[in-house]
A = this chain, B = another copy of it.
Amino acid sequence: MKNIIVQKFGGTSVGSVERILAVANIIKAAFKNEFPIVVVSAMGKETDRLVVLAKGISVNPEKRELDALLSTGEKVSASLLAMQLNEMGIKAKSFSAAQISMKTTSQYSKAKILDINYQIILDSIESGFVPVITGFQGVTDSGDVTTLGRGGSDTTAVAVSAAIEASRCDIYTDVDGIYTTDPNLVKNAKKLETITMEEMLELSGQGANVLQIRAVEFANKYNVPLRVLSSFRSGSGTHILKEESSMEDAVITGIAYQKDQTKITLHGVVDTPGIASGILSPISDEDIEVDVIVQNVSVSGKTDFTFTVATEDSSAAEAALNNNMQGITYDEIIVDENIVKVSLVGVGMRSHAGIASKAFNALADAGINIQMISTSEIKITLVINQDNLEDAVKVLHDAFELEK
């Protein structure tokens, strides 16, 4: 019996009839040594096309119907890909989420996977048919169609891998792996052969937009070995492994950055117990995600409280503060959209002291001012002026010799 692997192909990978042929050839090659289960996204701009139709009907389309509509995109690509495989002499069957009872919660547009009837997938494999499964979607207990949110096909692939105990989950995309930092920013950025899941989690959260963060969490929880690789160029990609796997003990694995962030400061807050929750509750009530949070030491009974939000949420956050904050006295609110977050990530940080100071020194030498600092066990996040982004990433990449 061949090893079972899961192969997931994103929207650009199956964007046309020609691309579907290319993907079928990748599956055919894998089929020689392993038994692939395939998960597909909708073709290229198909989801956008469907959203435009829905927006032609309503600015706020009924959620159940929007999910039913969007779910057709992957059904189209799954049946076309299964058709192509059959055409090439490889027996294949498309399966919608409903057909494999991919059960989810009933939160339309951001449903969470609960359970999969993997017996149907196993039956397909046993009768020699490559299953081609629609990503991004599920069904509720009452049979309503749901979607997992943009990028949810990664989560589908990992969930299928976990249910079937696949030996590997290959995520095919338009980049050929995970880099030490953005190759567009730093010329000598290096492709990583391996990265730990924890590092990948921190990188996903910080905008290394290769894999959906939920998929990585899922893979981490269920011990699914992941690999990210290109469907456009051949190559071995980047393996995303549990830390237990033998890994070179790099101190810093990569540098991520995130633009379109806004820093909001409440200046001169009267320091009383509970000011953090008093300030942040009105914001979380609006479902706005708050990231780096810093509270300065109190001087003569007053303090500054600063945090970052996505720039698209900054007006709503400011309104929430002005209208709904209870029992907080302050001098003024200062909003700064001209910032960027840069993060150093690496499991090696745990066992190496002095990483933070090395980073601070490198930036200081380059004359780059650090506005905020936030650290976790395997990550250091710095908020700087966005004009310094390129210099900062280069300086840090050099300081930690990531090109080696």
A interface list, Cβ under 8 A from B: 17, 20-21, 50, 53-54, 56-58, 61-62, 64-66, 68-69, 71-72, 75-76, 78-80, 82-84, 86-87, 93-94, 96, 98-99, 143, 145
Contacts and interface: CB of A to CB of B under 8 A. Distances in A.
B99 A79 contact: no
A69 B53 contact: no
B50 A68 contact: no
A83 B17 CA distance: 30
A94 B66 CA distance: 10
A76 B80 contact: no
Main secondary structure of the interface of A (DSSP, over half): helix
The 3 residue pairs across chains A and B that have the minimum distance between CB atoms: A17-B56, A62-B86, A68-B79
Copies in the assembly, this chain: 2
Contacts of A61: 83, 87
A374 B50 CA distance: 51
Given A65-B94, A87-B58, A98-B98, A17 B80 contact: no
A356 B117 CA distance: 64
A58 B17 CA distance: 10
A198 B84 CA distance: 45
Given A72-B76, A79-B65, A57 B94 contact: no
B57 A84 contact: yes
A82 B62 contact: yes
A98 B145 CA distance: 11
Contact of A57 (B58, B65, B80): B80
30 contacts: A17-B56, A17-B57, A50-B76, A53-B80, A54-B80, A57-B84, A57-B87, A58-B83, A58-B84, A58-B86, A61-B83, A62-B82, A62-B83, A62-B87, A64-B93, A64-B94, A65-B86, A65-B93, A65-B94, A66-B79, A68-B75, A68-B78, A68-B79, A69-B79, A69-B83, A72-B72, A72-B75, A75-B75, A96-B145, A98-B99
